Structure 1
Amino acid sequence: MSSSPSETTFANRTMIVSGGSRGIGLAIALGAARRGANVVLLAKTAEPHPKLPGTVHTAVAEVEAAGGKGAAVVGDVRKEEDVARAVDTAVERFGGVDIVVNNASAIATEPTETLPVKKFDLMMDINVRGTFLLTKAALPHLRRSSNPHVLTLAPPTNMNPHWLGAHPSYTLSKYGMTLLSLGWAEEFRAERDGAGIGFSCLWPETYIATSAVTNLADGAALAEASRSPEIMGDAATEILSRPAAEVTGKCYIDSQVLAESGVTDLSRYGGGNNPIRDIFVDETVRA
């Protein structure tokens, strides 16, 4: 089912991406599609949204235009039955699952006293529960892959009090995703005769010009100082092309991954000379 991890091709490798109809999730899907991957996109956006570009169906069209094969699953990563449909679609259409990308995420950064409980629950349900559900459902199929990966869009666990105090509930939900990934790396390290399943995290060094940024009050100015989602797509495909045992248990920053692979000029991703540093990223971890 999978190609050799030393090859750059993703031909015959099947990826499931949650929340992949736009932004970073779509950029990762397209990065893999350009190398020939099969991509199953699980997202709620079946119809165009007035403030958000694209649907899960237009995203699949982009995947196929990029050179991959795609399948759309309209569903909610919080619902076990929808997640099961996404995994079943990957198995039925493409023969298995090689890669899971836990991309779907909710963000709310209001202070604790003003954060609605509904938003707290939403972050925990999408970020933590959704990551758990999709990974759990894919595990039996990942075991049969020759280079299985689960990539989670979550930050390194930076215990700097600034980030802990800035938005405790959001921080809890994102670090929850990270801790699941690190825990699974150990839980499944002995799988496949010791080759393991690759559980890793990826986080952007800077703001990324997605709808979440452009829809803010000063979105146009913020987008100018943000890098394009393609930097995350390129970093993700670099991680996912490596052997599972090499990346498991690691948390990566996009610019550092690219620097490791010899890409040091990041100007093509935009953001200007001083792009906005993303949350959870201290100056000391800059590439």
Structure 2
Amino acid sequence: MTPNTGALKGRTIFVTGASRGIGRAIALKCAADGANIAIAAKSAEPHPKLSGTIHSVAAEVEAVGGRALPLQVDVRDEQRVEEAMAQTAETFGGIDAVVNNAGAINLTNVESTEPKRYDLMQSINSRAVYLTAHLAIPYLKASDCAHILSLSPPVNLQAKWLGPYGPYALSKFGMTILSMGLAEELREAGISVTTLWPRTLIATAAIEFAVGNRKLFEQSRKPAVMADAAYEILITQDNVLSGRQLIDEVLLAERGVSDFTDYAHNPARAHQLAVDLFLD
């Protein structure tokens, strides 16, 4: 893993969907560097199939040296997101970064996607990027190293992605397009806006339950690779990365990582990994 530098010490990061998976990994990576973490997620009580709650992650954040604020938040709820950000700023003195990690996935075409599932994906994915940015901008403008980071792919309009996965693709590309617009809108304010996507599948509940099954973990990397890449983004100053659609492996290679073996869920199969959606 990329070593911590202390660059995030005292900084406050608002992470959505931080109760498990990639969001949890990002929270812990930044906390180990001394950051304050607002753990904004729906899971306040244990789930029979899914590990992790806002409270369990809060305990982990504090165990590695960060300060934690567990917040039960549905990113579709404007009032709740607004309240959570205000509480975060009041607790820690401001907000320096927002990480849009919460997501909904359903890999179906238009005919097979029920309206309620379509609405869920659009509201949790693309709309949430708008909502969190809209509400966070006043806080971020007060930071000297502000970031909005969204976990979404580079825009890829090839038919092989749009045909079978049109509704999901729209929601994820919407996140990216909004981020590209925000990067220009906020450039003079000094707020960096980027997107990040994994080169390979990542061993998370989404892969196990929404994409395939746990066998796919053998072709996946651990969430730590995304956490390390997110960390590199969040410590970057002067808007150097703003507007870029980043891939975890590519960014980490730019920052000096040459061996990705340990990131594999099964290091013995580190050279037999599956490329993620929307990447060629």
TM range (shorter): over 0.9
Tell me the secondary structure at the aligned position of residue 140 of structure 1: helix
Equivalent positions of 1:91-102 (< 5 A) are 91-102=89-100
Correspondence for 2:164 among 148, 163, 166:
166
Question: What amino acid is the match of 1:229?
Answer: P
Counterpart check, 1:263 vs 2:262: no
- Tell me how far 1:134 sits from its aligned partner: 1.1
Counterpart check, 1:248 vs 2:246: no
Does the 8 A contact of 1:44 with 1:76 survive in 2? yes
| Unaligned stretches of 5+ residues in structure 2 | none
- Tell me how far 1:216 sits from its aligned partner: 5.7
Give the equivalent residue in structure 2 for 1:41: 39
Does the 8 A contact of 1:204 with 1:254 survive in 2? yes
Give the equivalent residue in structure 2 for 1:236: 230
TM-score by length of 1: 0.92
Deviations 1:56-114 (A, max 9, x none): 11011111112110001112010011101221121111000000001111011112111
Give the equivalent residue in structure 2 for 1:75: 73
Percent identical residues: 46
Counterpart check, 1:122 vs 2:120: yes
Change (3 A) 1:217 1:199: closer
Give the equivalent residue in structure 1 for 2:209: 215
Question: What amino acid is the match of 2:161?
Answer: W
Tell me the secondary structure at the aligned position of residue 252 of structure 1: strand
| Unaligned stretches of 5+ residues in structure 1 | 1-6, 283-287
> How much is the aligned-residue C-alpha RMSD, in angstroms?
1.3
Deviations 1:138-171 (A, max 9, x none): 1001001010000000001012221122301100
Does the 8 A contact of 1:15 with 1:101 survive in 2? yes
Tell me the distance in 1 between the aligned counterparts of 2:100 and 2:211.
28
Number of matched pairs: 272
Tell me the distance in 1 between the aligned counterparts of 2:83 and 2:211.
37
Does the 8 A contact of 1:43 with 1:74 survive in 2? yes
Counterpart check, 1:198 vs 2:192: yes
Displaced runs of 4+ in structure 1, greater than 6 A?
none
Correspondence for 1:145 among 133, 143, 146:
143
Correspondence for 1:17 among 15, 18, 24:
15
Tell me the secondary structure at the aligned position of residue 46 of structure 2: coil
Does the 8 A contact of 1:148 with 1:244 survive in 2? no
